[in-house]
Amino acid sequence: MALRLSNTFFSVSAIASNHYSKKPPFRFKITTVSATNSIPMASTETPNSTSTSKIIDSHLHVWASLQEASQFPYSPGQEPNLPGNVDFLLQCMEEAGVDGALIVQPINHKFDHTYVTSVLKKYPNKFVGCCLANPAGDGSGLKEFEHLILKDGYRAVRFNPYLWPSGEKMTNEIGKAIFKRAGELNVPVGFMCMKGLDLHISEIEELCTEFPSTGVLLDHLAFCKPPLNDEEGLVFSKLLNLSRFPQVYVKFSALFRVSRTKFPYLDLSPLLSKIVSSFGANHVIWGSDFPFVVPECGYKGAKEAVQLIGNEISLASSDLEWIMGKTAAQLFQSQLNPSG
């Protein structure tokens, strides 16, 4: 049966297939966009060549403005120190020629998804959502997760290991229940390994092994920086080794967080080359980490950096298209019927 999503975020017509296959789905079609919203190709293209694929930002955040905070309060102690409201985001996306995005629930509102949900409902053709898993000890997080997916239309969920109860791992009963249910609902689970992949890789491997039908997103290169020593090199090799799990995707996102240099973060070039070689470009997705990226290199710069890094490693134009939008369009297509 043909599947079609909104014509602004991305329109998809495809034969239903396994989301987590390593091979690109050749019957998968991304609707073309006008040249004003296109992205320049890698150096193998002629100067006038442009991409016709939609550009999708797979990792950004929004939160209420100060004026909106009375209606959408911040979590105690999580008041933002920079603007991140949706109007500002839309302005940045228009200037950069970005067509759609996955909004990741911010810590500023923690488990209160009201603001992000309001944005998703207001701009259903522009955004999809990634909710935040609540690992509360009473198990209420599973029902919250199901509601956000089935009723509010979120299409991914984030595991933040630092929100788990003290001494608990993401592989505890609650974590496994949500992870398993995510696979049943056909939504991927994102992992934020801010303090280092090595601290959490055994949990990720255990979950992937036990629940192979659940997709996995590794935020921000799993926070692997360009290795400076053997120990860091070993951790990066462990990241590459996760490619043995067909359900794993890598977010080439928040480049300012993982690079050791300034824009355009060219020290990440060899990392991207190895990631693409190991996982395949159709398992790599770009993300800006708006609004945190704005004071770093600007939102438009977040997009341009990937193009420049791609040129540095002579990345095929087809691979760049997967990274900049086609992978996300495949991954976040919905097979759910929220009203059912």
Identify the band that residue 155 occupies on the pLDDT scale cut at 50, 70 and 90: very high
Task: Provide the CB-side half-sphere exposure for 131 (13 A, CA).
Answer: 27
- For 45-52, what is the mean pLDDT? 41
Taking only the tens place, the pLDDT of each residue in 222-241 is 999 999 999 999 999 999 99
User: What is the model's pLDDT at position 40?
Assistant: 26
The residues that bridge with 12 in the sheet, in sequence order, are: 30
Minimum mean pLDDT range among 52-56, 89-93, 297-301 = 52-56
Per DSSP, the three-state class of 173 is helix
Residue 259 tokens, joined: 């690079």
Per DSSP, the three-state class of 259 is coil
Minimum mean pLDDT range among 38-52, 53-67, 226-240 = 38-52
- Residue tagged 């992949």 (tokens): 197
Output Rg (C-alpha) for the chain, integer angstroms.
19
- Kindly provide the residue ranges of all beta strands, DSSP E only, lying in the chain, ordered along the sequence: 12-13, 29-30, 56-60, 100-104, 127-132, 156-159, 189-191, 216-218, 248-253, 284-287
* Alpha carbon 205 to its chain's center: 19
User: What is the model's pLDDT at position 52?
Assistant: 60
User: What is the model's pLDDT at position 20?
Assistant: 55
Q: Does the pLDDT value for residue 53 go beyond 90?
A: no
* Alpha carbon 322 to its chain's center: 13
Report the C-alpha dihedral over residues 118, 10, 304, 289, rounded to 10 degrees: 30
- For 61-74, what is the mean pLDDT? 96
Q: Judge whether 146 and 181 are in contact, CB under 8 Å.
A: yes
* Alpha carbon 35 to its chain's center: 25
Sign of CA dihedral 259, 263, 267, 270: positive
Residue 130 phi, psi (nearest 5): -120, 110
Minimum mean pLDDT range among 119-123, 137-141, 301-305, 320-324 = 137-141
Mapping DSSP onto H, E and C, the string for 51-103 reads CCCCCEEEEECCCCCCCCCCCCCCCCCCCCCCCCCHHHHHHHHHHHCCCEEEE
Residue 276 phi, psi (nearest 5): -65, -40
What is the model's pTM?
0.85
Q: Does the pLDDT value for residue 276 go beyond 80?
A: yes
CA dist 246 and 263 (Å) reads: 32
User: What is the model's pLDDT at position 334?
Assistant: 45
The single-letter code of the amino acid at 71 is Q
- Residue tagged 């193998």 (tokens): 44
Q: Does the pLDDT value for residue 15 go beyond 60?
A: no
- For 307-322, what is the mean pLDDT? 97
CA dist 141 and 147 (Å) reads: 10
Q: Does the pLDDT value for residue 22 go beyond 60?
A: no
- For 177-200, what is the mean pLDDT? 97
